[in-house]
Structure 1
Amino acid sequence: MLSDFKMKELNDDAEIRNLWLEGIHNLDQRQAPKKNKDFYDFIIVGAGTAGCVLARELIYNIPNINILVLEAGPPDIQVNDIMRSPCAFPSIIRTIETDWGYFTEDQTMPSAVDPTKEVLNRRIHCARGKVVGGCSTVNAMIYMRGQEADYNLWATQGPEYEIWDYNHCLEAFKATENNTRKNPDEEFKKYHGFNGLLYVQDKQNDFDDILKDVIKIAKNLGIPYNNDFNGARQNGIGEYQHTMKDGKRFSLADGYLADALKKVETYPPSKPFELGSPHRLGDDVAKFVAVNVKCFSHMLNIIWDEERKDENVAIGVKYFYDGRVHESFIAPKGEVIICGGAINSAQVIILKIKADFSIKQ
């Protein structure tokens, strides 16, 4: 004969089973939960050079925001950390996992030797990083800025372009740079920063004998030696600096995105934990103040405000992620920022133009 305690256990067990079976039988009768829309203050398309810097600057300079960063490629790590090895960059610069695989078009142009004849410039590979860190994760790590004359030319296009003059850009370069050259002279200090998040260093080992001979020959030919290709002049022969730290690659993801990801808060701040609270969180938690990065997220299109078609107002993005199409939207006063690089940023905008043209047709 079963004891009263044992009978109670059996009855409790039977009740639990009945409740579970009832739940299974009624599963198809339940109302499916409504799909929640993802809202962010900023959506950055592309975790390359610009995207990484923007994510970090926004999260630390605007209070109580959250940011979604979409990257079509993988994280910036591989087996054995091949992306960190300077000598391994040829292995990642043209692989389908980390490069978009773009090529230039064949072009014919007048010969410089005989203008009456044409020469064929065959197509070449145009490397574009498809990975967190973008091209800074797959390039040859040579730290080389643009020509001063180019920036000043951009600035002459109108008042809204004046910020692109070289002096403005130089201040931005210096702010991002953490140059580790030992005992820099005063001239070098005019053009470089030493407190930024992007590490830049000189070559760690001595020149090969053949390179020393090349520099010697160049000097004999009257080509000036240049110990800083980002200084007052960029012509001459010398040694590049590299975006490296301790002999390893250092990308914008290593500096800026990694720092952005450190900031994780709640807004409004959660109350102290209370005993008896089922989730141990206060009721006033609204959102995470953080940067959310989604890798393998292929951008499909910008979502435009249908009520303001003539103004081309973006309200979100549509992208393919985790096997299906997702939509994320920006909160009021939020922004969609396209940081897809020189080619893909334009391609995203062209998708809008093509869609409009098709509708008009």
Structure 2
Amino acid sequence: MIQDAGEFDFIIVGAGSAGCVLAARLTESGSYRVLLVEAGPEDRHFWIHVPLGYANVFADRRINWMLESEAEGELQGRSMYQPRGKVLGGTSSINGMIYIRGNHADYDGWRDAGCEGWGWEDVKPYFERAEGPTGLRVQPHTKKHELAEAVLRAAQNAGLPYTHDFNGERQEGVGYYRYNIFKGRRWSASSAYLRPARARPNLKVVTEAHVLRLSMRDSQVTGIVYERDGQTFEVRAKAEVIVAAGVFGSPQLLEHSGIGNPSVLKEQGIEPVLELAAVGENLQDHFYTQLMFKCSQPITINDLANSWPRKMFEGARYLLTRTGKLAFNHIYVGGFTHSREGLSKPDIQFNMTAWSVAERTASGAKPHPFPGFSLSPVHINPDARGAVHVTSADPRGRPSIRFNFLKTNYDIQSMIFGVRLVRRIAAQPGLQPYIADEIQPGRAIASDADIVSFLREKAVSNLHAVGSCRMGPDCATSVVDSQLRVHGVRGLRVVDGSIMPRIICGNTHAATVMIAEKASDMILVAAR
């Protein structure tokens, strides 16, 4: 039996990076009643809020969907682990907290592909609003680390210019990152947007509620049906339903509601309601690998992780002062560059992290028993396109996720360049005193063929998946229009990273927040 759960002006599905922004902005005026529905629990888990605690939430089923991709043919049949936040704040509650807007050319490319109003000058004000007093806290790097300083100098000696701020006028170069960390705590979308908004009487938040499907009448979405505590509820929307369930959850919900490619739906026993072939297609992600080095000095996070006295000391220091090793993510410096001449924007990123990993298990990563650090090349403008689709008619079923990495020569050659770039940086005289040995892949892996074999064995998704509900003007190749309205149906938008027509050059959290900031204005204008 389905119980009536009332009526709201707006219903938001998913309290992740986008959903928290929407809930805050749509309730600011007090004119509209908003329901925010989240499948996960409240964000009270201790390790969510500790910046170095993301190692502990990376594999916690209580707050993490812990998805897996299908076996990747070009990667020796390996599947790619896909952690996604199942908690207030979504993946912003479990990510690495790096804040990158992306390259200006990314958004001009969206505009030029037919997404009117999404060029750099159009989206810039929304980044600025997101970084303002009512949005995210964006903190520059404040403390020096001798290993990070050595990497910074080595990268400059290897030919990369110094960049003060990757979010400024020039992205290319090497420099320190900026972070969503404030006063020693993770500053998630829930911390920044949702927590202040929950005092408003016109916002209702329902957690641990799994949305089963959209309610539809003719070509109008009228509400949602969700399950909580073994009971089923239906709630109505006077104005709109906004799906903000993320790159995997949003296409899943559309497909379970009969919106998608009819052949995909029928194969899983779902009756098609609206033909929209692009649902679940255009899946993109960055692709990366770790080059790991044994450090000659005990100055890495491995040394903390392998010492109980140090862990107890740092734990006490954090609890008392919100400072110390636990108050930072230890992803210090990085850089952006081109793998070849003639590209309009960087296509290679690299990150320096103050740890190295001996093995990964279902419960997390185990560090090497000695000091170690990593330099990781990332291909941030890949050709690879995949898909995410439902695997049954059960709304609680896991989706099929396929990325199709390393299928084109450009993708392969770009990653070879990235590996060689990192090695060129590591070979600089200023960094060599910190390197006792190259652990992974090892100096014996030297030829292009050897590097490609290493990539097929070890390289993975960089966990920045986007694009599965693509924005565009053509309903044959996209899911939403430039107002983020789903083609062919009224009263329904998708607002999250899934609408990106092409992945941006850099970490995707900041851009997802920007999308929701911009969408909130669109929604309020339409409502008025």
C-alpha distance in 2 between matches for 1:147 and 1:93:
28
Look up the match of 1:68: 35
- Is the alpha carbon distance of 1:122 and 1:151 closer, same or farther for their aligned partners in structure 2, counting shifts above 3 Å? farther
Look up the match of 1:3: none
- Is the alpha carbon distance of 1:200 and 1:357 closer, same or farther for their aligned partners in structure 2, counting shifts above 3 Å? same
C-alpha distance in 1 between matches for 2:171 and 2:134:
22
* Contact 1:73/1:295, CA 8 A, preserved across alignment: yes
What is the identity percentage for the equivalent residue pairs of Structure 1 and Structure 2? 32
Give the drift of 1:166: 1.5
User: SS of the residue aligned with 1:175?
Assistant: helix
- Is the alpha carbon distance of 1:359 and 1:249 closer, same or farther for their aligned partners in structure 2, counting shifts above 3 Å? closer
1:224 is aligned, of 161, 166, 173, to 161
- Is the alpha carbon distance of 1:260 and 1:212 closer, same or farther for their aligned partners in structure 2, counting shifts above 3 Å? same
User: Which amino acid in the other structure matches residue 53 of structure 2?
Assistant: A
- Following superposition of structure 1 onto structure 2, how do residues 181-260 of structure 1 map, counting pairs within 5 Å? 195-207=133-145, 209-260=146-197
C-alpha distance in 2 between matches for 1:203 and 1:216:
16
User: Which amino acid in the other structure matches residue 149 of structure 1?
Assistant: A
Look up the match of 1:42: 10
2:198 is aligned, of 261, 264, 279, to 261
2:247 is aligned, of 310, 320, 342, to 342
Look up the match of 1:329: 236
C-alpha distance in 1 between matches for 2:80 and 2:167:
27
Look up the match of 1:103: 68
- Is the alpha carbon distance of 1:105 and 1:149 closer, same or farther for their aligned partners in structure 2, counting shifts above 3 Å? farther
User: Which amino acid in the other structure matches residue 136 of structure 2?
Assistant: L
User: Which amino acid in the other structure matches residue 58 of structure 1?
Assistant: L
- Is the alpha carbon distance of 1:121 and 1:148 closer, same or farther for their aligned partners in structure 2, counting shifts above 3 Å? farther
C-alpha distance in 2 between matches for 1:358 and 1:199:
42
* Contact 1:319/1:325, CA 8 A, preserved across alignment: yes
* Contact 1:174/1:196, CA 8 A, preserved across alignment: no
Give the total of aligned pairs: 264
1:303 is aligned, of 215, 218, 226, to 215
| Cα shift readout 1:306-329 (whole Å, capped 9, x = no counterpart) | xx2xx2x11111111122111111
Look up the match of 1:172: 126
User: SS of the residue aligned with 2:138?
Assistant: strand
Give the drift of 1:40: 1.0
* Contact 2:134/2:193, CA 8 A, preserved across alignment: no
- Following superposition of structure 1 onto structure 2, how do residues 46-195 of structure 1 map, counting pairs within 5 Å? 46-61=14-29, 63-78=30-45, 81-109=46-74, 120=76, 122-158=78-114, 161-178=115-132, 195=133
Give the drift of 1:57: 0.9
- Higher relative helix content: 1
C-alpha distance in 2 between matches for 1:35 and 1:215:
59
- Is the alpha carbon distance of 1:146 and 1:121 closer, same or farther for their aligned partners in structure 2, counting shifts above 3 Å? farther
- Is the alpha carbon distance of 1:101 and 1:198 closer, same or farther for their aligned partners in structure 2, counting shifts above 3 Å? same
C-alpha distance in 1 between matches for 2:113 and 2:96:
33
C-alpha distance in 2 between matches for 1:37 and 1:131:
22
Tell me the TM-score normalised to structure 1 length: 0.69
Give the drift of 1:348: 0.5
User: Which amino acid in the other structure matches residue 83 of structure 1?
Assistant: I
User: Which amino acid in the other structure matches residue 139 of structure 1?
Assistant: N
Q: Which runs of 5+ in 2 are unaligned?
A: 259-264, 276-528
User: SS of the residue aligned with 1:345?
Assistant: helix
C-alpha distance in 2 between matches for 1:358 and 1:50:
26
- Is the alpha carbon distance of 1:163 and 1:315 closer, same or farther for their aligned partners in structure 2, counting shifts above 3 Å? same
What's the C-alpha RMSD, in Å, of the aligned pairs? 2.2
User: SS of the residue aligned with 1:211?
Assistant: helix
User: Which amino acid in the other structure matches residue 233 of structure 1?
Assistant: R
C-alpha distance in 2 between matches for 1:67 and 1:345:
19
Tell me the TM-score normalised to structure 2 length: 0.48
C-alpha distance in 2 between matches for 1:221 and 1:64:
56
User: Which amino acid in the other structure matches residue 246 of structure 2?
Assistant: G
